Amino acid sequence: MKICVIGSGYVGLVAGTCFAESGNTVICVDVNQEKIEGLKEGILPIYEPGLKELVLRNSSEGRLFFSTDLASAVKESLICFIAVGTPPGEDGSADLQHVIAVAREIGRNMDGFKIIVDKSTVPVGTAEKVRRATQEELDRRGVSHEFDVVSNPEFLKEGAAIDDFMKPDRVVIGADNVRTAEIMKELYSPFMRKTNRLIVMDVKSAEMTKYAANAMLATRISFMNQIANLCERMGADVAAVREGIGSDSRIGYDFLFPGVGYGGSCFPKDVKALIKTADECNYDFVLLNAVEEVNERQKKVLVDKMVAHFSPGGGAGSLAGKTIAVWGLSFKPRTDDMREAPSIVIIESLLELGATVRAHDPEAVKEAKKIFGDRITYTSTNQYEILNGADALAIITEWNEYRNPDFERIGASLSAPVIFDGRNLYNPRRMRDIGFTYHSIGRNGSS
Ligand code: NAD
């Protein structure tokens, strides 16, 4: 099939590349000329494991193209995916300006039947807005072409995006037209060879499914963070509690790790957008408001522990003169994405309290520099160097290289052996035995 994917970010680039990998001819379009020029040269704008190899192979085999020319891409394609960003607007609602701008561009340029697919995460009712915007442009041109608007939300996870796309748990297709649903099924059939988990539904339900999924996952995280905080106060161990509840098949183990709060480009904005959607229907989504509030508070938990350790009185300047070495900046491992990363709130708080911060991250330093500039120091290579003479190590992102480190070296490098672990990577009892003061989230060290 001939496809164009408009918006070549985390989602568009992965989707376009994977569609090319399954034999389709794909044009990835973006307004960002630098990004497109780079991609033509094989330079990827993002870090995503396995993506570069696929981009290079499919480009050289003549199935994957990059362009800023949306008009030609639309003319050459049967299916036009919209995969542009939908950042939160000032009031928390999803900002649809890029989606609608693309819909208009498609209307201005289409020359025959097209399937327009909303791949971006967009609120219920957006497909209708896309339809209207496209139709208005056709009317303006005085031409008549048939088109369908499909909702096909994306569930990939950054860091495992290729696998998620090639072997999805499910693909959701919201289509109000049987013929179009069949074409979409055909497009996704190569990814359904193991299990056929293609779920076809009406457009609005598909749009809601994406928000409901992210809101549910965010709810599990906030729930478990509160259970962890309560465990700490009661002397229970959240790791044992997770085992205990996860073994219930109705609950399961996933997404029950307490930590420093959820971040990233999706959960925070999608939770906010769903709250806003509910507001617009005069429906008070009490639960999601609480999920968000818990998450904001959780980002401060590690800093509170540092203040309690170094300066129990707290207050302004309570970490003055302290140097904190931070491992992990990206919002999760295996990505360079810093959008809404908890590290931002944590590091800003540390700086505000007077601390000096040195950070290590294997991939996110370039992105982090855009946020912190020269207010902190960085390294992406030796994770131990930043420990020399620091007063404590704080772990914010659970990159693999932090899971089994050289504790002897950590202890010898720090001015005192103190770790604040926001991801519960180590065994508290073992840490105590090897002489560390070890703070983690919700554990009493019994497990
Ligand atoms: P991104 O910011 O990485 O990429 C968006 C791209 O769209 C950018 O390269 C931008 O230059 C381009 N763009 C903006 N306006 C354009 C226009 N008019 N024409 C052409 N290109 C344009 O965003 P992303 O992370 O890929 O997310 C895209 C959508 O997918 C969002 O709605 C997001 O919520 C959703 N989503 C993201 C993820 C994820 O893990 N990142 C997962 C599932 C769904």
Kindly report the protein residue whose alpha carbon is nearest to atom 30 of ligand 1: 120
What phi and psi values does residue 109 have, to the nearest 5 degrees? -120, -10
**Hey, which of 13, 36, 119, 265 would you mutate to test ligand 1's pocket, going by the most ligand atoms within 8 Å of its Cβ?**
265
Average pLDDT, the chain: 97
**Residue corresponding to tokens 């790791």:** 239
pLDDT(397) > 90:
yes
The ligand 1 atom nearest the CA atom of 270 = 34
Ligand 1 pocket at CB < 6 A: 6-12, 29-32, 35, 83-86, 98, 101-102, 120-121, 154, 156, 158, 265-266
The ligand 1 atom nearest the CA atom of 122 = 32
Predicted pLDDT at 195? 75
Kindly report the protein residue whose alpha carbon is nearest to atom 22 of ligand 1: 7
Domains 2-201 and 217-295 share a fold: yes
pLDDT(434) > 70:
yes
The CATH number of the domain covering residues in 217-295: 3.40.50.720
In the reported structure, the alpha carbon of residue 194 is separated from the centroid of ligand 1 by a whole-number distance in angstroms of 29
266 as an active site residue: the answer is yes
pLDDT(288) > 90:
yes
Return the CATH architecture of domain 2-201. Answer: 3-Layer(aba) Sandwich (3.40)
Predicted pLDDT at 157? 94
In the reported structure, the alpha carbon of residue 85 is separated from the centroid of ligand 1 by a whole-number distance in angstroms of 3
The ligand 1 atom nearest the CA atom of 269 = 34
Q: Distance between CA 149 and CA 192 in Å, rounded?
A: 22
**Hey, which of 154, 155, 207, 370 would you mutate to test ligand 1's pocket, going by the most ligand atoms within 8 Å of its Cβ?**
154
Quickly state the pLDDT bin for 10 (edges 50, 70, 90). Answer: very high
**Hey, which of 30, 34, 84 would you mutate to test ligand 1's pocket, going by the most ligand atoms within 8 Å of its Cβ?**
84
In the reported structure, the alpha carbon of residue 68 is separated from the centroid of ligand 1 by a whole-number distance in angstroms of 15
Domain segments of the chain as ranges: 2-201, 217-295
Kindly report the protein residue whose alpha carbon is nearest to atom 28 of ligand 1: 85
**Hey, which of 11, 28, 337 would you mutate to test ligand 1's pocket, going by the most ligand atoms within 8 Å of its Cβ?**
11
Q: Which amino acid is at 346?
A: I
Kindly report the protein residue whose alpha carbon is nearest to atom 27 of ligand 1: 85
The ligand 1 atom nearest the CA atom of 121 = 32
Close Cβ partners of 410 (under 8 Å, ≥ 6 residues apart): 384, 387, 393, 417, 419
Quickly state the pLDDT bin for 314 (edges 50, 70, 90). Answer: confident
Q: Are 424 and 239 in contact (CB under 8 A)?
A: yes
In the reported structure, the alpha carbon of residue 360 is separated from the centroid of ligand 1 by a whole-number distance in angstroms of 27
Kindly report the protein residue whose alpha carbon is nearest to atom 37 of ligand 1: 11
In the reported structure, the alpha carbon of residue 369 is separated from the centroid of ligand 1 by a whole-number distance in angstroms of 21
In the reported structure, the alpha carbon of residue 379 is separated from the centroid of ligand 1 by a whole-number distance in angstroms of 28
Task: Report pLDDT digits (tens) over 351-386.
Answer: 999 999 999 999 999 999 999 999 999 999 999 999
pLDDT(444) > 90:
no
SS (HEC) of the chain: CEEEEECCCHHHHHHHHHHHHCCCEEEEECCCHHHHHHHHCCCCCCCCCCHHHHHHHHHHCCCEEEECCHHHHHHHCCEEEECCCCCECCCCCECCHHHHHHHHHHHHHCCCCEEEEECCCCCCCHHHHHHHHHHHHHHHHCCCCCEEEEECCCCCCCCCHHHHHHCCCCEEEECCCHHHHHHHHHHHHHHHCCCCCEEEECHHHHHHHHHHHHHHHHHHHHHHHHHHHHHHHHCCCHHHHHHHHHCCCCCCCCCCCCCCCCCCCCHHHHHHHHHHHHHHCCCCCHHHHHHHHHHHHHCCHHHHHHHHHHCCCCCCCCCCCCEEEEECCCCCCCCCCCCCCHHHHHHHHHHHCCCEEEEECCCCHHHHHHHHHHHCEEECCCCCHHHCCCCEEEECCCCHHHCCCCHHHHHHHCCCCEEEECCCCCCHHHHHHCCCEEECCCCCCCC
Max distance between CA atoms of the chain, in angstroms, equals 78
Task: Report pLDDT digits (tens) over 43-91.
Answer: 999 999 999 999 999 999 999 999 999 999 999 999 999 999 999 998 9
Kindly report the protein residue whose alpha carbon is nearest to atom 41 of ligand 1: 10
In the reported structure, the alpha carbon of residue 266 is separated from the centroid of ligand 1 by a whole-number distance in angstroms of 11
What average pLDDT does this structure show over 238-261?
97
In the reported structure, the alpha carbon of residue 84 is separated from the centroid of ligand 1 by a whole-number distance in angstroms of 4
Catalytic residue, from 18, 28, 80, 266: name it.
266
Task: Report pLDDT digits (tens) over 182-241.
Answer: 999 999 999 998 778 999 999 999 999 999 999 999 999 999 999 999 999 999 999 999
Task: Report pLDDT digits (tens) over 90-133.
Answer: 899 999 999 999 999 999 999 999 999 999 999 999 999 999 99
What average pLDDT does this structure show over 142-153?
98
Calculate what percentage of the chain has a pLDDT beyond 90: 96
pLDDT(447) > 80:
no
